[in-house]
Structure 1
Amino acid sequence: MKFSHSIQLNASPEWQANYLAYSQLKKILYAIERAMLGVEQLPASPRDIEADGEGDGETSPLLEPHSPLVSKLTPDEANAFFVRALDEQLEKVSAFYAKKERLITDEVHSFVSDVSALEDSQGMEWDVESGLRQEPFSSETAIEEPTLPSQRQHNGIPSAGTWPRRQSSMPAEANRPTSGDFSSRLWASKAMKANRGRYSKRATDLFILLSELKDYVELNYTGFSKILKKYDKVTGSKLRRQYMATKVDLAQPFRPNSKEAINNLIDEVVRIYATIRTDGKIAIALTDLKGLLRERVIWERNTIWKDMIEQERKRETIGLRGKTADRDASDAKTEINLFGHKLVIPPIPWDLVKIAFCVGPFLFLLLYPTFKALEQRYCLAILVFASLLWALEVLPLFITAIMVPLLIVLLRVLRAPDVSPDGTVTYHRLTAKEAAKKIFSDMFGPVIMLLLGGFSLAAALSKHNIAKGVASFVLGKAGSKPQWVLLANMFVSTFASMWISNVAAPVLCFSLITPILRNLPSRSSYGRCLIMGIAMASNVGGMASPISSPQNIIAIGTMDPPPTWPQFFAVSLPLVITMDLLIWAVLLLIYRPSASAGAAPPELFGHSSYFADHPLDRKQWFIIGISFLTIILWCAESALESYVGDMGVIAIVPIVAFYGMGLLNKDDWNSMLWTVVMLAMGGTALGKAVDSSGLLLEITQMLTPHLAGMSPFKCLALFSGLVLVGTTFISHTVGALIILPIILKVGLSLPDPRANTLVMAAAFMTSGAMSLPVSSFPNMNAISLEDSTGLPWVDVADFIKVGIPCSVIAWTVVMTIGYPLMGLVGIQ
């Protein structure tokens, strides 16, 4: 294994940037080699050599054909250049070590002081209550408990042999056999039961931190030795021995007294843990702590290993699949005996069967005159064809989405209105050239820009560990049980959707569960349950506020008079809370999630906040500030419409801020979920085609005569069901644009006019359509989530078995709770 990979695998993930930049030093080394051969010249500073990527130059030829020779670098110049690079790395390592060593030492001081103070406060009361009376002893005759090899005074912390002695003159204290025995019995008493878990957790955390700091020193020391050995080998120099003796060995992290100090701190923490947990038995305590450290390391190695695979996939375009596509065809053959003869039945080509099942209805609808207008007939064929391809996953979802504009242009389903002088409106089919220009301009709309802005926010929050901190806080409040973690994340998703729309909110919320997903097996029921819970809750969140989804904005603009914000919340909040709780129960019933297969990183369920141990730096505060600014601007978009025009324009703010300031780079941009973007663009194209061709309007008008004389409740049930089915296959926004004005007219024509009620309920039901991956943006995001090895977390089957019951729940809640609430708050 390359040492650069060894550093990455063995390093503490949160300290990655502070280790020796071994790969960068290798690049500098090979740049020096080329300069010594006269192939190229060195830059002015080692920092000017490209640091991106992992390429080490070992496999590339040193002298390219026809390379112009330049003046060669002398050995002394090469040594001076490389020493400058080494000095920068040594300074970085030393500064980080000094900072960490000081912080951890202060934490150990504080821990020792807190333990001593607690024993002082609890000891006398427990001593009296327990009736402990033994032969007196004094500080001079106290029997010392066993000590660890390196126990001695360090940094003002008493050694384990003297820590902290109860040598008071109080009568009760004079009767204890040893302070160690007293402390162990005190910690084992009921009086200390509430404190044992908290203080042993602090001791464990300190032991892990100290062990990581010790490993940090050893790994970096090995790194300096290895890179210098490689440098001497490549350049023929003898720099290693001199540099290690005069600089590395004298640097603070690598001095013998620094190593001894770390060992003393570790021994002190082990002794305290032994007092608290193992009745003073140090050997058992050390075994326990090493076991906990091993569990932590295993989790981190597993996570880092997945990260390394993910990076390799991005770089080499490696695709892993859970099933072997090239398995031997003979495995699927079936043999039967027929009249004494073996009959071999070849395997059924299911892919071809699925394709035929999709193409058959498509061709039939193209030829059968379902509607008089060709554009409506052809649009219905495209709608059915795309829906079947999406439902059966015959092709990758984004490929089906890309195919939609191709069919729209080829079949010329788009049309444009012609207005005659007398006001009569007729339509004509657009030519292929006109249709192509229109459909491509429609596909990249404001919503796509909103997606990119949401992705950028999520990437920055995740990359700089802000999402991890929020996840720590949320999960710390929810506990470690999957059902409560699921419910907490669902409510967070719904709340986020209220204010930043259910387009951008799920992108942020999926980043919150990344620390959990990274430690779960592929296709884990817990992981799928979390992803589907966030997707469903984000859909429900689209009903929560007037700005949570475009369809709500359209509905408010359609209603006359429009509802006030208090009226809207009086109806929406009881609905979304009820839906979330019912959907939560459905998810638990379907997936039965368990944390036994691995749940979350150990620190997420700790007693302290992540941010308490990892204070926010300036970059993180900047990211948080830009995120809140973006959210505020999104919330105030209606008031700023004359300046920004659309929420998509506001989404450019985080993109420019994060990428412009270097907080995100081109690799982050390239790793965005472009499949989701293409899926959204294909869904938008299909929705525009359904609108332009007049297909949905035609279907709705066919139903209108049958609604005459219906009660508002029956009409609501019918139309909300129609909206639910229709917007399962097409864009929620497009469905709202087309059908809400028609519903308003139908509502006004009823004997008991409840037009606003019908419109508001129909708007809610557009968000409640969540049965397919293409039904909504939260669903599109969920279907595109992959684990580190490239396997999808959820598939279409998950949406069918979860989405259909959730859609029915949404329809039922709107009918039974939403309808009467609208009447109570005065929405007619």
Structure 2
Amino acid sequence: MIEWRKLAICLALFLVVLVLPADWLPLADLNPIQQRLLAIFVLAAGLWILEPIPVFATSVVIITLELMMLSSAGLGWLVADYRSADLLLPYTSILNALSSPIIILFLGGFALAVAASKYELDINLARVLLKPFGNKPQHVMLGLMMITAVFSMFMSNTATTVMMLAILAPVLAAVPEGDPGAKGLVLSIPVAANLGGIGTPIGTPPNAIALQYLEGANAVSFGSWMAFGVPFVIVMLAVGWFLLTRFFPPKMAELNINIKRKFRTSPRAIIVYVTFAATILLWLSTKLHGMNSYVVAILPLAVFTATGIISKEDLKLFNWDVIWLVAGGIAIGIALSKTGLAEEIAHAVDFTILPLASVFVGLAILCYLMANLMSNTATANLLMPVAVAVATTLMDAGQLTGTTSLLLVVALSASMGMVLPVSTPPNALAYSSGKINNKDMAKIGIAVSLIGLTVILCACLLSV
């Protein structure tokens, strides 16, 4: 449903930036194409923050406006005067956002998630992996968090949360009324889902968006990402579990989870099991076979569609809204880079005179605050190209040796936005269970995220 008042505010900001004399803008010496892009950027920020229209629709609007107002194939009377000045973007570079390797990476991840759910691989793995944790509530909570985090590394954290809350539902029905342990169990799932996504490049969109900009000498492989992501997840899961057991101590002595499912043994189910395992192994062994993460990602999609495991109806289950959201971010990133506007924004403040730590802390806090109030994907989409320009400026000044550390700060800080029900889909799903309130979520969310933010900043600054 469209919220017309909020939409009017966003459009008004867009028009103001678009028609203001360039001299009145805080950025000096903008050419007309850069000013148009700045207006589109402001519009995107407003639409993503206020959400008068769905967030994926904002991405479609961004791509459309860029094609019409900035591209070589744009609306004639809008772009005719700038063809000779070579200011326009090739329309193909904007449309390439829809076929970016990052998009393929997500499609491969969605294929694995849909196939695993269709053949109950996810639930059966949860059944097997929860057995060793026994019946004590604290141990069951730890098991739930570990399973949720592992699934969130390779599946949508939204789908993982839905599955884990479904597993937990019959157990919660048997928990005594008023036992704070019930709140802890419900909250453990979104906390673990939000943290688990950090472990791999496909675990959460901000990771993949960062990967889009980490190229050449700064490139990070799937295995390299996991080498720092998984230890961070393990540490933060331990912190989250400790805090949950202290904030919401259970009164019940035992907690039983009974999942009456069995692994399927049909040929197609076996193909799913083998393909799932093979894809993960291939992602972790790029140096051995030479295929990067993007090439490997398309293999499960090919196998599952060719064998009928994923039908055309199953394709509708992919998170296409996330695909469009990421594509819009890629498109605005391409435009910011190719028009030079990102560099102009980065140069609006002389970061070279600031202590390096203050630049990292400032970006992390800005990203963290935005991610708590809006989609963490939208936050990464807006800040990542600016962070690249800032990192490049610092590299030119000899203060940084690469862009990796600063981009990781933005990506990981975005994933720390977990304080409010609106901050992430797992938070919203847990809140919708009716077992927790805003205060409960904020209590654990603030504690875990601030500790995580501190760990991220310390690790990235030490690596500089």
Aligned to 2:11: 359
Superposition CA RMSD, Å: 5.0
- Find the counterpart in structure 2 of residue 739 from structure 1: 387
Superposition map of 1:224-239 within 5 A: none
1:468 counterpart (119, 123, 133): 123
Gap change, CA 1:730 and 1:377, over 3 Å in 2? farther
Letter in 2 for 1:622: I
Structure of greater relative contact order (alpha carbons < 8 Å, 6+ residues apart): 2
Tell me, in whole angstroms, the C-alpha distance in 2 between the residues paired with 1:376 and 1:516: 51
* Letter of the structure 2 residue corresponding to residue 358 of structure 1: C
Contact 2:351-2:390 at 8 Å conserved across structures: no
Structure-1 residue corresponding to 2:69? 411
**Residue among 323, 337, 343 paired with 1:691:** 337
- Structure 2 contact 160–193 (Cα < 8 Å) conserved: no
Aligned mates of 2:57, 2:165 — CA distance in 1: 26
In the alignment, residue 468 of structure 1 is paired with which amino acid?
A: I
Matched residues in 2 for 1:485 and 1:411: separation?
Answer: 55
Amino acid of the residue matched to residue 361 of structure 2?
A
Change in Cα spacing, 1:507 to 1:636, as seen in structure 2 (3 Å) is farther
For the 8 Å contact 2:342–2:385, the answer to whether it is kept is: no
Alignment partner, residue 78 of structure 2: none
More helix by share: 2
Q: Deviation per CA, 1:264-317, whole angstroms, max 9, x where unpaired? A: xxxxxxxxxxxxxxxxxxxxxxxxxxxxxxxxxxxxxxxxxxxxxxxxxxxxxx
Q: Determine the structure 2 residue equivalent to 1:769.
A: 414
Contact preservation (8 Å) 1:402, 1:678? yes
Cα shift readout 1:632-689 (whole Å, capped 9, x = no counterpart): 2222345545xx5x53332332223223223333322233333333333333333333
Name the structure 2 match of 1:373. Answer: 31
Give the Cα–Cα distance (whole angstroms) in 1 for the partners of residues 192 and 427 of structure 2: 12
Q: CA deviation at 1:469?
A: 0.9
Give aligned-pair identity as a percent. Answer: 22
**Amino acid paired to 1:811:** L
1:579 alignment partner in structure 2? 236
- Which residues of 2 match residues 329-408 of structure 1 at below 5 A? 351-368=3-20, 369=22, 370=25, 371=27, 372-408=30-66
CA contact (8 A) 1:414 1:689 kept: no
**What is the CA–CA distance in structure 2 between the aligned matches of 1:686 and 1:527, rounded to whole Å?**
40
Query: Does the 8 Å contact 1:390/1:400 carry over to 2?
Result: yes
In structure 2, relative to structure 1, the CA distance for the partners of 1:679 and 1:429 (3 Å cut) is same
CA distance in 2, matches of 1:782, 1:544: 16
Q: Structure 2: where are the runs of 5+ without partners?
A: 74-84, 174-181
Task: Tell whether 2:279 aligns with 1:630.
Answer: yes
Q: Partners in 1 of 2:141 and 2:48 — Cα distance?
A: 28
- Please give the alpha-carbon distance, in whole angstroms, between the structure 2 residues aligned to 1:815 and 1:443: 32
- 2:300 matched to which residue of 1? 654
Alpha-carbon distance in 2 for matches of 1:464, 1:730? 32
The Cα offsets for residues 69-91 of structure 1, whole Å up to 9 and x where unpaired, read as xxxxxxxxxxxxxxxxxxxxxxx
Contact 1:555 1:736 in 2 (8 A): no
Q: Which amino acid aligns with 1:384?
A: V
Between the aligned partners of 1:647 and 1:582, the Cα distance in structure 2 is 30
The answer to whether the 8 Å contact 1:450/1:648 transfers is yes
Deviation of 1:448 (Å) = 2.0
1:180 alignment partner in structure 2: none
Match of 1:551 in 2: 210
Q: Secondary structure at the match of 1:429?
A: coil
Task: Indicate the residue corresponding to 1:4 in structure 2.
Answer: none
Q: After the TM superposition, which residues 418-457 of structure 1 pair with which residues of structure 2 at under 5 Å, given as runs? A: 428-430=87-89, 434-435=90-91, 437-457=92-112
Structure 1 gaps of 5+ residues are: 1-324, 326-349, 416-425, 774-778
In the superposition, the TM-score normalised over structure 2's length comes to 0.69
Contact 2:199 2:229 in 1 (8 A): no
Q: Which structure 2 residues correspond to residues 666-815 of structure 1 after superposition, within 5 A? A: 666-703=312-349, 705-708=350-353, 710-718=354-362, 720-721=364-365, 730=378, 732=380, 739-740=387-388, 742-743=390-391, 746=394, 749=397, 755=401, 759-760=404-405, 762-770=407-415, 808-815=450-457
CA distance in 2, matches of 1:374, 1:527: 54
CA contact (8 A) 1:494 1:538 kept: yes
Take 2:97 and 2:225, find their aligned partners in 1: how far apart are those partners? 34
Q: Deviations over 1:390-435 (max 9, x none)?
A: 33332223323322212222332799xxxxxxxxxx85123xxx43
Distance, in Å, in 2 between the alignment partners of 1:713 and 1:373 is: 33
1:62-461 alignment runs, 5 A limit: 351-368=3-20, 369=22, 370=25, 371=27, 372-412=30-70, 428-430=87-89, 434-435=90-91, 437-461=92-116
Q: Cα offset for 1:527?
A: 9.3
Alpha-carbon distance in structure 2 between the residues aligned to 1:700 and 1:589: 43
2:76 matched residue in structure 1: none
8 Å CA contact 1:398–1:675 kept in 2: the answer is yes
Separation of aligned partners in 1, 2:401 and 2:363:
12
**Cα separation, partners in 2 of 1:587 and 1:447, compared to 1, 3 Å:** farther
Question: Hey, what's the Cα distance between the residues in 1 that align with 2:341 and 2:312?
Answer: 42
